[in-house]
Structure 1
Amino acid sequence: MYLEGLHLKNFRNYADLDVKFNQGVNVLLGENAQGKTNLLEAIYVLALTRSHRTANDRDLIGWQANEALVAGRVHKTNTVTPLELTFSKKGKKAKVNHLEQARLSAYVGNLNVILFAPEDLELVKGSPSVRRHFIDQEFGQMSPKYLYNAGQYRSILRQRNNYLRQLQRKQAKDLVYLGVLSDQLAAFGAEIVAARLNFLDQLAVWAQQVHKVISQEREELAFEYVNQIKAMREQSVDALYKAYQEQFERQQAKEIEQGTTLIGPHRDDLHFMVNGKNVQTFGSQGQQRTTALSVKLAEIDLMKAITGEYPVLLLDDVLSELDDARQTHLLRSIQDKVQTFLTTTSLSGIARKLINDPTIFNIASGHLSQDESVSSSDGSDSQNGDDGRETQQE
Structure 2
Amino acid sequence: MELTSLRLVNYRNYTDLTLNFSDGVNVFLGENAQGKTNLLESIYVLALARSHRTSSDKDLIRWQEKEATISGRVKKNISNVPLSLYFSNKGKKARVNHLEKSKLSQYIGQLNVILFAPEDLELVKGAPNVRRRFIDMEFGQMNPLYLYHTTQYRRILKDRNAYLKRLQMKQTTDTIFLDVLTQQLVDIGSQIILARHNFLARLEEAAQPIHAEISDQREILTIKYQTSIEFEKNSELSVIKAAFEQDLKRLQSREIMLGSTIVGPHRDDIQFIVNNNDVAVFGSQGQQRTTALAVKLAEIDLMQQETGEYPILLLDDVLSELDANRQTHLLLAIQDKVQTFITAPSLSDVARQLIHAPKVFHVKHGDIILEEQAE
Calculate the TM-score normalised by the size of structure 2: 0.99
Equivalent positions of 1:1-16 (< 5 A) are 1-16=1-16
User: What residue is the counterpart of 1:277 in the other structure?
Assistant: 277
| 1:247–1:263 CA contact under 8 A, matched in 2 | yes
User: What residue is the counterpart of 2:357 in the other structure?
Assistant: 357
- Which stretches in structure 1 are left out of the alignment for 5+ residues? 377-394
Is the aligned partner of 1:296 residue 2:296? yes
Is the aligned partner of 1:215 residue 2:244? no
Equivalent positions of 1:128-139 (< 5 A) are 128-139=128-139
Distance, in Å, in 1 between the alignment partners of 2:232 and 2:222 is 15
| 1:194–1:233 CA contact under 8 A, matched in 2 | no
User: What residue is the counterpart of 2:340 in the other structure?
Assistant: 340
Shift of 1:232: 4.4
| 2:10–2:68 CA contact under 8 A, matched in 1 | yes
Shift of 1:233: 4.2
User: What residue is the counterpart of 2:366 in the other structure?
Assistant: 366
Q: Deviations over 1:224-275 (max 9, x none)?
A: 1112222444111111111111011100011001110010000011100101
Q: Deviations over 1:316-341 (max 9, x none)?
A: 00001000100000000011000000
| 1:198–1:233 CA contact under 8 A, matched in 2 | no
| 1:7–1:18 CA contact under 8 A, matched in 2 | yes
Q: Deviations over 1:126-177 (max 9, x none)?
A: 0111111100010000000000000000000000001111101101111111
Distance, in Å, in 1 between the alignment partners of 2:57 and 2:259 is 30
Distance, in Å, in 2 between the alignment partners of 1:220 and 1:92 is 44
User: What residue is the counterpart of 1:266 in the other structure?
Assistant: 266
| 1:6–1:19 CA contact under 8 A, matched in 2 | yes
Shift of 1:216: 0.5
| 1:117–1:315 CA contact under 8 A, matched in 2 | yes
Task: Evaluate the alpha carbon distance shift between residue 232 and residue 356 of structure 1 in structure 2; reply closer, same or farther with a 3 A threshold.
Answer: farther
| 1:224–1:272 CA contact under 8 A, matched in 2 | yes
User: What residue is the counterpart of 1:245 in the other structure?
Assistant: 245
Flag as ranges the 4+ runs of structure 1 deviating above 4 A: none
Shift of 1:276: 1.1
User: What residue is the counterpart of 1:382 in the other structure?
Assistant: none
User: What residue is the counterpart of 2:34 in the other structure?
Assistant: 34
| CA RMSD in angstroms, aligned pairs only | 0.9
Letter matched to residue 182 of structure 1:
T
Distance, in Å, in 2 between the alignment partners of 1:333 and 1:357 is 16
Distance, in Å, in 1 between the alignment partners of 2:195 and 2:3 is 28
| 2:231–2:239 CA contact under 8 A, matched in 1 | no
User: What residue is the counterpart of 1:149 in the other structure?
Assistant: 149
Q: Deviations over 1:7-51 (max 9, x none)?
A: 110001110011100000000100110000000011000000011
Is the aligned partner of 1:47 residue 2:47? yes
Letter matched to residue 268 of structure 1:
D
Distance, in Å, in 2 between the alignment partners of 1:144 and 1:232 is 27
Is the aligned partner of 1:194 residue 2:183? no
- Which stretches in structure 2 are left out of the alignment for 5+ residues? none
Q: Deviations over 1:358-377 (max 9, x none)?
A: 00000111111100135x9x
| 2:8–2:14 CA contact under 8 A, matched in 1 | yes
Describe the SS at the equivalent of 1:95: strand
Describe the SS at the equivalent of 2:87: strand
Letter matched to residue 100 of structure 2:
E
| 1:140–1:146 CA contact under 8 A, matched in 2 | yes
Distance, in Å, in 1 between the alignment partners of 2:212 and 2:232 is 25
Describe the SS at the equivalent of 1:27: strand
Distance, in Å, in 2 between the alignment partners of 1:365 and 1:97 is 32
Describe the SS at the equivalent of 1:51: coil
| 2:121–2:289 CA contact under 8 A, matched in 1 | yes
Describe the SS at the equivalent of 2:251: helix
User: What residue is the counterpart of 2:112 in the other structure?
Assistant: 112
User: What residue is the counterpart of 2:25 in the other structure?
Assistant: 25
| 1:197–1:232 CA contact under 8 A, matched in 2 | no
Distance, in Å, in 1 between the alignment partners of 2:98 and 2:42 is 19
User: What residue is the counterpart of 1:122 in the other structure?
Assistant: 122
User: What residue is the counterpart of 1:383 in the other structure?
Assistant: none
Is the aligned partner of 1:75 residue 2:75? yes
Distance, in Å, in 2 between the alignment partners of 1:214 and 1:70 is 37
| 2:230–2:243 CA contact under 8 A, matched in 1 | no
